[in-house]
Chain A
Amino acid sequence: MKTVKVYGPGCKRCETTEKMIKDAASRLGVEVAVEKITDARSIAMAGVMSTPGIAVDGKLVHAGGLPDEGKLDGWLSA
């Protein structure tokens, strides 16, 4: 079970990112819990300056823009 956090104030791209993660997870058969962090303070505390940011199991792997699908698969299956 992987914990994925999506950091973003709730713009459209953040929602798309969340959907991409869920889709990739079900395609790979990986169990994930996706949590959306929308509070500006928590986003900043995580060291994210450009949203959406993605952290997998507590480690920040991506910030700014939609993630690349190939890389997304890599993070989830690692």
Chain B
Amino acid sequence: MTIDTNAPSPPRAAPDWLWYGGVPAAGVVLYLLYGQLVPISEWVTSQFPVARDSHTGEAIAFFVYDVPKVLLLLTGIVFVTGVLRSWFSPEKTRAILAGKRQVWGYPLAAALGVLTPFCSCSSVPLFIGFVSAGIPLGVTFSFLIAGPMVGPVGLGLLYGLVGWQIATLYLVFGFTIATVAGIVLGRMGLERYLQDWVRELNAGPVGDLPEERLTMVDRLKIGLEQVREIVGKVWIWVLVGIGIGAAIHGYVPEEMMLRIMGGEAWWSVPAAVVVGVPMYTNAAGVIPIVEALLGKGAALGTTLAFMMSVIALSLPEMIILKQVLTLRLIAIFIAVVASGILATGFLFNAIL
């Protein structure tokens, strides 16, 4: 499937009316296509020379249905998010947070973490920019945890693949963990565990860039640019994730899943976190796996813990942050966030 065919083309030359007409039109086309995925995928599956209800047939059906579904959802979510985020920037966020020393700076930072556009490759300059502007370390952590943890891609896919109830639970608990972990880390007085050069640094003032005036068309362009960049980058993770999901859906027996990831086994939650941390993928890759796990009867708490640790605690991110944080601070950071994830996992396994 190609992503760009339905989107308005050539971005530079297109007149405004083409954007105002083309974007809604593309939205309608994608929506109609989305509604037809079941018959289309069943038809494709029936072309394979295997019985529909065999293990292989089940796996193929899962894969053929999920790939276009996830890619369509991803395209829509990334576009809308890209447009919304064009109203925010790290510079504005820093100015908002710099004045907030009260406790509600933490939830505010978590909310801005979701809305501010930043890629993990600039998390180091961003971290320094925040800390040197006098934003407390804990507030900065709330911002950095919330960004990936409750990102719109993860939430949107969870909503589309698993259902709104679980998406809402995930949103509430992800946000709470980001806020509380920031407060806890802030209370611990960890400034002394920053790398020496960061503590001594007085970063230059943010360059007084002229406020950019963006038209609505500019914002739509940003959205489309984001689709190209992000979908172009993560599609391979999506395919791998759905492949794993399909294998689980088709071949893993339910009794085995209940034994390993059922609510009875208390150790399954910490095990899910331990397995999840070194796994490097993104929300778009892990949610098809979550879908398959839940479908096979894995306990909700265990599955949420797995998903949160994959998304929020990733080793490459830690290696990037190693430039500014000492190992000890990274270890404390992981321990605090992991405790929040464990608590969430145990809570859901206990009440559901």
Residue ranges of A at the interface with B (Cβ–Cβ < 8 Å): 7-11, 13, 40-41, 43-51, 53, 55, 59-66, 69
Task: Provide the residues of chain A in CB contact with B89, threshold 8 Å.
Answer: 50, 64
Given the contacts A44-B132, A47-B203, A64-B89, A11 and B121 also touching, CB distance less than 8 Å: yes
Which of A8, A40, A61, A62 is B323 in contact with, Cβ under 8 Å? A40
Shortest CB-to-CB span from A19 to chain B, Å, is 16
Which of B121, B205, B225 is A47 in contact with, Cβ under 8 Å? B205
A64 touches B125 (CB 8 A): no
Provide a sorted-by-A list of 30 A–B residue pairs whose CB atoms are within 8 angstroms.
A8-B122, A9-B124, A11-B121, A13-B229, A40-B124, A41-B197, A43-B124, A44-B129, A44-B201, A44-B203, A45-B201, A45-B204, A46-B204, A47-B207, A48-B125, A49-B122, A49-B206, A50-B89, A50-B125, A51-B125, A53-B207, A59-B207, A60-B207, A62-B209, A63-B91, A63-B207, A64-B89, A64-B90, A65-B222, A66-B225
Shortest CB-to-CB span from A69 to chain B, Å, is 8
Which of B91, B122, B225 is A51 in contact with, Cβ under 8 Å? B122
B337 close to chain A: CB less than 8 A: no
Other than A9-B124, A47-B207, A55-B207, give 8 A-B pairs with Cβ distance below 8 A. A40-B324, A44-B129, A49-B94, A50-B90, A50-B117, A50-B118, A64-B89, A64-B117
Closest to B122 in A: A51
Q: How far is the CA of A6 from the CA of B118 in the complex (A)?
A: 17
A50 touches B122 (CB 8 A): yes
Closest to B229 in A: A13
Shortest CB-to-CB span from B262 to chain A, Å, is 42
B72 close to chain A: CB less than 8 A: no
Closest to A59 in B: B207
Shortest CB-to-CB span from A35 to chain B, Å, is 17
Closest to A9 in B: B121
A44 touches B209 (CB 8 A): no
B119 close to chain A: CB less than 8 A: yes
B128 close to chain A: CB less than 8 A: yes
Shortest CB-to-CB span from B235 to chain A, Å, is 15
Q: How far is the CA of A49 from the CA of B117 in the complex (A)?
A: 11
B126 close to chain A: CB less than 8 A: yes
Given the contacts A47-B207, A49-B129, A63-B207, A41 and B201 also touching, CB distance less than 8 Å: yes
Task: Provide the residues of chain B in CB contact with A40, threshold 8 Å.
Answer: 124-125, 128, 323-324
Task: Provide the residues of chain B in CB contact with A44, threshold 8 Å.
Answer: 124-125, 128-129, 132, 201, 203-204
Q: How far is the CA of A50 from the CA of B204 in the complex (A)?
A: 14
Q: How far is the CA of A47 from the CA of B94 in the complex (A)?
A: 12
B203 touches A45 (CB 8 A): yes
Q: How far is the CA of A65 from the CA of B129 in the complex (A)?
A: 17
Task: Provide the residues of chain B in CB contact with A53, threshold 8 Å.
Answer: 207
Q: How far is the CA of A48 from the CA of B209 in the complex (A)?
A: 10
The interface bits of chain B over 328-350 (1 if a CB of A lies within 8 angstroms of the residue's CB, else 0) are 00000000000000000000000
Task: Provide the residues of chain B in CB contact with A61, threshold 8 Å.
Answer: 209
Task: Provide the residues of chain A in CB contact with B201, threshold 8 Å.
Answer: 41, 44-45
Task: Provide the residues of chain B in CB contact with A43, threshold 8 Å.
Answer: 124-125
Q: How far is the CA of A76 from the CA of B322 in the complex (A)?
A: 36
Interface residues in B2-38 by Cβ distance below 8 A to A read: 12
Q: How far is the CA of A60 from the CA of B126 in the complex (A)?
A: 16
Q: Which 4 A/B pairs are nearest by Cβ-Cβ distance?
A: A60-B207, A44-B128, A49-B129, A11-B121
A49 touches B125 (CB 8 A): yes
Closest to B207 in A: A60
Task: Provide the residues of chain A in CB contact with B203, threshold 8 Å.
Answer: 44-45, 47
Q: How far is the CA of A66 from the CA of B225 in the complex (A)?
A: 10
Closest to A63 in B: B209
B132 touches A48 (CB 8 A): no
Shortest CB-to-CB span from A51 to chain B, Å, is 4
Interface residues in B118-177 by Cβ distance below 8 A to A read: 118-119, 121-122, 124-126, 128-129, 132
